[in-house]
């Protein structure tokens, strides 16, 4: 039986990954992290979506302590969403230092304990918000560290790494799941479900991708079929 673990935030990218791999793996597990983010709507949406897709193994892991040691506008309302990061002016304030390091470590422990060899992440370095822990180099290095440190053969899969937002919309279109992405996911940095606030960087990227895909569906469908070998 082929099993996979999806690191699942309830956002567009991780939901698209989840939908995609339900057609590939026999058994899907989801792990969602509660790191005391200001907007709990993404956790609620992750539960809604996993139930809708019939996922039987979904854990919400409490890591609220991350807020105590990591500065971000996603965990502390004294920082503004559209500002630069208080520690590093090159990064946006929405960057949560160490978040993906922790996510990948804890996800790998779960996968190891449940004899799962594939851990799936919706990270992307084409249309992304400038996070250093969404780059392919980081994912590969972390994968190597995990396998050395746990003496295992876990594989981090990043199917969206080289897709732009329009292609990500096309992938959900391929699986007839546009309505789920449009209505049930939370991509918005202000925690607004569905179309979001249309003002934050995440909403802007999402809408730009949607508009381009909607204007040329056949082009983007052909593109993802080629890239994803569908």
List pLDDT tens digits, range 65-115.
998 888 898 888 888 888 888 888 888 888 999 999 999 999 999 999 999
> Can you tell me the distance from the alpha carbon of 70 to that of 62, in angstroms, rounded to the nearest whole number?
15
> Per-residue pLDDT tens for 142-189?
999 999 999 999 999 999 999 999 999 999 999 999 999 999 999 988
Q: At 6, give phi and psi (nearest 5°).
A: -105, 125
Domains and CATH numbers, the chain: 3-228 (3.40.50.620)
H or E element that contains 33 = strand 27-34
| CA-to-CA separations, 218 to 167, 170, 174, 215, in angstroms, rounded | 11, 9, 11, 9
CA 115 – CA 112 distance, rounded (Å): 5
Kindly report the backbone phi and psi dihedral angles of residue 136, in degrees, each rounded to the nearest multiple of 5, phi listed first.
Answer: -60, -40
For the chain, how many residues are written?
Answer: 230
Strand runs labelled E in 110-185: 118-120, 155-157
> Contact, 45 vs 184, CB < 8 A?
yes
Interatomic CA distance for residues 18 and 121, integer angstroms: 9
Supply φ then ψ for residue 21, to 5 degrees: -80, -15
Summarised one tens digit per residue, pLDDT across range 15-52 is: 999 999 999 999 999 999 999 888 789 999 999 999 99
Asked if residue 160 lies in contact with residue 124, where contact means CB atoms within 8 angstroms, the answer is yes
Amino acid 86: pLDDT: 87
Give me the residue label for tokens 């995440």.
Answer: 202
């Amino acid at each position: 039986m082929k099993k996979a673990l999806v690191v699942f935030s309830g956002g567009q990218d991780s939901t698209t990954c989840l939908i995609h791999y339900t057609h590939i793996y026999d058994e899907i597990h989801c792990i969602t992290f509660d790191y005391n983010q200001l907007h709990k709507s993404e956790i609620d949406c992750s539960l809604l979506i996993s139930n809708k897709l019939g996922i039987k193994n979904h854990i919400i892991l409490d890591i609220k302590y991350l807020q105590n040691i990591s500065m971000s506008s996603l965990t502390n309302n004294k920082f503004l969403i559209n500002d630069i990061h208080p520690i590093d002016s090159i990064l946006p304030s929405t960057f949560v230092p160490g978040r993906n390091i922790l996510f990948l470590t804890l996800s790998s422990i779960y996968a190891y304990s449940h004899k799962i060899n594939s851990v799936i992440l919706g990270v992307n370095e084409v249309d992304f918000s400038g996070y250093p822990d969404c780059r392919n180099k980081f994912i590969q290095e972390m994968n190597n560290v995990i396998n050395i440190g746990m003496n295992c053969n876990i594989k981090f899969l990043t199917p969206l790494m080289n897709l732009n937002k329009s292609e990500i919309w096309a992938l959900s279109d391929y699986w007839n799941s546009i309505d789920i992405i449009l209505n049930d996911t939370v991509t918005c940095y202000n925690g607004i479900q569905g179309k979001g606030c249309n003002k934050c960087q995440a909403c802007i990227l999402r809408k730009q991708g949607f508009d381009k895909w909607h204007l040329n569906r056949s082009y983007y469908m052909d593109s993802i079929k080629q890239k994803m070998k569908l």
